[in-house]
Amino acid sequence: MQLPRLVDAALDRLVVPGYSRLGYTVRRAGWSTLPTGCLSGRTILVTGAGGGLGAATVRGLVALGARVEMVVRNPERGEETAAAVRADHPGAAVDVAACDVSSLADVRRYAAEVRDREAAVHGLVHNAGVMPPERTETAEGHETALATHVLGPFLLTRELRPVLRSGASPTAPSRVVFVSSGGMYTAALHIDDPEFRRGTYSGGAAYARTKRMQVVLAELLADDLAADGTVVHSMHPGWADTPGVASSMPGFHRVTGPLLRTEAQGADTVVWLQAAAEPGHSTGVFWHDRAPRPTHYLPRGGESPQARAALWTLCVDATGVGA
């Protein structure tokens, strides 16, 4: 039985019940099971797949029959994770590819390799994430969180456009999913200082700002790729117990530990967005626990058309990808 909408919305607004394992457990009771093999024949790329939510996403996708390419910065760690996935899912089609998503040059290299060897790609999950303790820049001069969460994913999506288009059909669109964060609710779209050059730098603030950018960028890419038969969604996983949370937010992890979701619970909606029928019939939606969620809770909280256009221009100018 589906959870009543008013109860579901209340869990969401109260944050702690909705984002914790309690919200997942209550909502899960009304979910249908994804059919075994529903992703057979589909190739899906997952960034940041060496551990945490990325590895859990890989496990969920291969369990449904997908062929998955794990896109990682550290190939050795990626191979260890891939071996563990194969041990749990004998016969799973799992490959490992090296790419630093924060490096635009490396993204171009990797995307060219994918275009050369893959006739079609059916899914792309932007999961790679960072929360730098201090402001750092990539070799190309971009603030690291911005490069990892926004510029790299934008470039990778646009560079893979031909194979995503080839992977789409009238009944089965290609799917791009951004793994954002509930922390994006705390941030506005900071397009006036996207590189965080002004003020006192905070890794948490940079994370929240760029996660907000991801949600808006997903909406913009949804419009951009609609004619290709590619849908684009964003989501947040709730509060999941991952190595990244433990290392980046030790205080939060210590206090909320008993409430945190497992990695598999946090990744559930990512897998569902790649596999279920419902999200294939829409695009540009923000999801949590398999349901659409508002991107703002306060009146007049939405971004102006000018700010949205400025984000697109930032991505185009920084990556050199044509508008």
Q: Within a 10 A sphere around the Cβ of 25, how many other Cβ atoms?
A: 11
What CA–CA distance (Å, rounded) separates 96 from 75?
A: 7
Q: Strands, E, within the chain: which ranges?
A: 43-47, 67-72, 94-98, 123-126, 174-179, 230-235, 286-288, 291-292
Residues 183 and 249 sit within 8 Å (Cβ to Cβ): no
Active-site choice (19, 24, 110, 207): 207
287 phi and psi angles, rounded to 5 deg: -120, 155
Cβ atoms within 10 Å of 200's Cβ, excluding its own: 7
Q: What is the dihedral of CA 185, 300, 317, 99, to 10 degrees?
A: 20
Q: What length is written for the chain?
A: 323
Sheet of 94-98, strands arranged across:
94-98, 67-72, 43-47, 123-126, 174-179, 230-235, 286-288, 291-292
Distance (Å, whole) CA 223 – CA 217 = 10
- Which residue type sits at 201? Y
C-beta separation of 19 from 180 below 8 A:
no
The rounded distance, in Å, linking the Cα atoms of 266 and 270 is 8
Bridge partner list, 67: 43
Active site annotation includes 297: no
Q: Tokens representing 77? A: 């760690």
Residues that are catalytic: 207
